[in-house]
Structure 1
Amino acid sequence: MHKDTVLANKTIFVHNGIIKNIESKIIVDDIEIIDGKNQFISPGLIDMHTHLWDKQELGLYLANGVTTIRNLWGYSMHLRLKDKLQKNKIIGPMLFTSSPKLTSKDDFGDDKVQIETKEEAKKLVIDYKQRGFDFIKIYAGINEDIYKTIINQSKKSGISIIAHPSREIPYLDQFNSQVASLEHAEEIVQQALNYEIDSLKLPQIIQKFVDSKKSFCPTITGFYKIYEMLDKGEEVINNGDINYMNPLIKTVDSKVQYNRWANEKTNNSSITETIYKQHLFHLYILKKMNEKGVNIISGTDSGIGITVPGASIHQELSFYKEAGLSNYDALKTATINPTKTHKEFEQMGSIQKGKFANFIVTKKNPLVNLNELKKPEWIMVNGRKVDKITLNKYSQNAKNRNNMVVTALRYLEYLLVER
C-alpha cells in the first residue's frame, strides 16, 4: 500500500501473528504452507467509525474482510470483548474502542455522558485511560470550557481524542493537536457551512485539514442511508441487509430513524431531493480533499440506523470511487491511511515485515475491481486463518441471532455504570 502495483509470486512467512519475511521463496521447516497460487492477497480492511453491539457483529466484519474496527461509542462491554479478543478466547477483528461519548450538561440524550464541571471532565479522562479505553470521544454538544479541559487532560494522560465536531465551538477552532480525527462529512455542511452547499467557502476548511495534517472520517454511507429511507420506504427496515442488524437496534433505533424521516417527508415534499443533493456535495468534498492530500480514513457509522456492520465498508469505498478516487486511493483509506491517524494502528494497513498478519485473499485483483473484496476466499486476522465456510457461518449466525434481551441488559449496564 505504498505504490499502486502488485508484487507477483511472493511468499509471506507469518509467525505468532506477525509478518516475519516476504521473499520470492522462503524455506522453513515444520510449518503449515498455504497455497495461494493465482490469487491476490491484500491488507485487511479497517472501519474507522463503528458502533459495536455484540460478538456476532465481530463475525460479520470478518466475513466482509474487515480485520480491524474502531468502535466510537464505548462502554464496559467493549472492554470485555477487547480483552477476550486479545487473549484469543474469541475470534474477531482487532478492536479499538473509544470512551463513552462526552458532551456538556445541556446536550440531552441517554447515549451521551453530560459533563457539568471541569473537575468532572478531568476525572473522566483519567478514569477512561486507566480502564483501558483507547481514545476519548467528544460529541456535538460539548462547550468550549469542557472541550479545553478534556484536551489538556488527554495530553497529560497520553490518550488521543476523536471528535464529532461540536455545535458550540467554531468548526475551524477544533483542529487541536490532541484530536486524531474529525468525523462526518455532514458536519462540514451543517456546522462549518451553516447548512449551505457552498463550494466557495469549502477550500478554507480543506486547507485547515491540510495544514493541521488532521485525518478526516467522512462516514458517507451513514448519511446516505437517510436518502435510502426516504427513497425506498418501509422495505429498508423490513427486508434485505437490515436483517443482519442487532435485533434490538433493528426494533428500536432503525424504526425510530425511519419514522423520523418518513414524517419529515410528509411535512416537506422536497426533503428527499435536499438530502440527495447534500450527499452529492459530500462526494465533492471528498474529491477536493483527496486532491489536496488530506488523510481520508474510511468509516461508515455502522451498527446504528440501517447501516449494517461489515457490508457498509464496501458501500463506503464505492462512494469514494464515485467521488473520483482511484481504486488504489479508495483502498488506502481503509488500509494504510489509518496508520497515520493513531500510533496504535502503526503495525497494520500494509503487508510488510513486522506488521500484523491481517489479510484478505481473493481470486481476482481488487485494484481492478474493489468488489472483489466482498468475496474473500479466506481472511487472516492476527495470524489466524478463517476459511470461506467459516466466514459464511459467521454471517448466518448474525442473521439468525436473537439477543434482544442481552443487548438491552448491556445497555442498562452502560446507563448505570457510565452515566
Structure 2
Amino acid sequence: MTARQLEQIETAEIEDTSLLAFYRDMNPAERRTFWACSAGWALDGMDFMIYPLVIGSIIALWKVGAGAAGLAGTVTLLSSAIGGWLGGYLADRIGRVRTLQFTILWFSFFSLICAVVQSFDQLLVARAVLGLGFGGEWAAGAVLMGEAIRPQYRGRAVGSVQSGWAVGWGLAVLAQAILFSVLPGDIAWRWMFAVGALPALLVFYLRRYVTEPEIAADTRRKLAESGEQPPLWEIFSAPILKTTILASLMATGMQGGYYAVTFWVPRFLTTERHLSIVSSTGYLSALIIGSFIGYLVGAWLADRLGRRNLFLIFSLGAIVVVLFYTQLPLNNDALWVLGFPLGFFASGYFSGMGAFLTELYPTRLRGSGQGFCYNFGRGIGALFPYLVGALSTTTTLANAIAIFSAAAYGVFFLAAFALPETRGRVLHPDA
C-alpha cells in the first residue's frame, strides 16, 4: 500500500451512536465471534492478574525482594511482546482463528506449570514462556474482532470485548478471596495458578463455532496465488514506518502506566495501607468496577468522539487520578471511593486501541503490524513493574507508582496527539 493509498481511505458514516447498537445489528456468526473473543480476553486477564495477587505469598515463601518479585511480572510482559509480534505474523499466515486456539492452549498449559514449580527461578522461567502465548492471544483475537465487525460499530464492539479484561480481573480477585480464606497461604497461591489453566476449555468453542473473517481469508488466498508473502519486517517499510513508530510509543505509554498501577496496587494496599489480603478485596473491587465501566464508556466514546480524542482525555484523567490516589493524605474510606475513577481512567482507553490499530494497517500486514505495536508497548511497559519495585526500596511504593505511571501516561498523550483519527475506516482485502 502506497502513501497516497493510505491517505485516500474510505470511511463509513456512523448512524446509531448508542453503546449496544453494534450487538443488536449483529448476525449469529458475528455474535459468536464477539462472545468467544470476550471470553478469551476475560480469561487472559484473569490469568495475568493472578500473579500480582499472589506476589505477597511469593515474596514470603522464597524470601525474594520486591524488585525481583516484580521482575517475574516484567519477564512475562517482555516475552508477551515477542509472542504478540510472532502471533500476529502467524495470524496473517495461517489465520486468526487457528492462531487464537494455539495461543490459548499455550498460556493455559504454562499457567498449570506455574502451580507446581519448586523455586522462584522455575516460576520466573514458567512465567516467561507463558507470556509468549499471552501476547499472541491478544494479537490474534484483536485483529479477528476488528475484521469481523462493520466499521461504524468497530470501536464499540472491540472496546466491549476489551471490558472482558475487567471481568477476568474480578474472577482472579474472587478466586483469591475464596482460596485464601479456605486454604493456607503457602498452598492457596498454587491453586490460583491452577485456576489459570481454565482458558483451555474455550478452544472447544472456538473450533466449533467461530469462523475466519472473509477479508482475511480473501487476502491470504490472493497472496498464496501470487506467491508473494509479506516479510515479517515489512511494517518498517517507508510508507508506514512513521505509523509503526508512533503507534508503538503510544502503546508503550498506555501499557506502562497501566502496569505501574495495577501490578502494585494490591501490594500498596497490604503494606502502606496495612490491609489484609481478604480485606483489600473490597478496595480492589471498586477499582475493578471502575475499570469495567471505563471499558464500556471508552468503547462508546471511541465511536462517538473518535479514537484519538478518547486517548487524549483518558491519559490526562489517569495522570490526575493516580496522583490523587497515591499522593494525597486520604483515609481508607476515601481511598476506596477513589478506586472507581482510578480503574475508570487507567483502563478505559484500552477500548479504542484494538480498533485503532486494526484501522492503521492494510489487511496483508494487519496481524503483524497490530501485534508488533501493541506488544512492543507491552514489552517496554513490562519494565515498569520492575522499576516501580526497585524504586520502592529507596522511597515509598506510592511515590514509585506515581512517578512511573505519570511519565508513561505523558508519553501516551504525546504519541496519540501525533497520530491521525481512524474512526469509521472501511477495511478492504488486499495483496
TM-score, L = length of structure 2: 0.23
The answer to which structure has the higher helix fraction is 2
Higher strand content, 1 or 2 = 1
Q: Which has the higher contact order (CA 8 A, sep 6+)?
A: 2
Q: TM-score, normalised by structure 1?
A: 0.23
